[in-house]
């Protein structure tokens, strides 16, 4: 019974990233690889309000310029300049 509960919890926790689009095309030539970010960050709540993911409230230019850049600088990984994200 204990194994069954753990399995159900594991499926619930990881379902959000399993069903999320791998690569998303955002505005202004920005491509976002969700799978790569989920694999690297591992904590969905770093961006999403809930651990199971879902729509990010308030997501847009201001959110991305603050939150995404902040994380890239903090982790010393990923683009932190305009041309790093806006490739097209």
Number of domains in the chain: 1
Sequential DSSP letters for 17-45: HHHS-SEEE-GGGBEEEHHHHHHHH--GG
State the pLDDT at residue 39: 94
* Residue in this structure with the two tokens 């999320």, named with its chain if needed: 20
* Ranges of the chain with pLDDT below 70: 1-20
Dihedral sign, CA of 21, 40, 50, 46? negative
Phi/psi at 23 (5° precision): -130, 130
State the pLDDT at residue 53: 86
Domain of 49: which CATH number? 3.90.10.10
Residue 19 domain boundaries = 2-85
């Amino acid at each position: 019974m204990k194994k069954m509960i753990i399995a159900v919890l594991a499926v619930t926790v990881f379902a959000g990233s399993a069903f999320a689009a791998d690569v998303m095309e955002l505005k202004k030539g920005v491509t976002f690889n969700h799978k790569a970010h989920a694999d690297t960050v591992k904590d969905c709540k770093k961006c999403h309000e809930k651990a199971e993911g879902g729509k990010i409230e308030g997501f847009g230019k201001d959110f991305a310029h603050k939150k995404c850049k902040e994380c890239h600088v903090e982790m010393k990984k990923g683009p932190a300049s305009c041309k790093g994200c806006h490739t097209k």
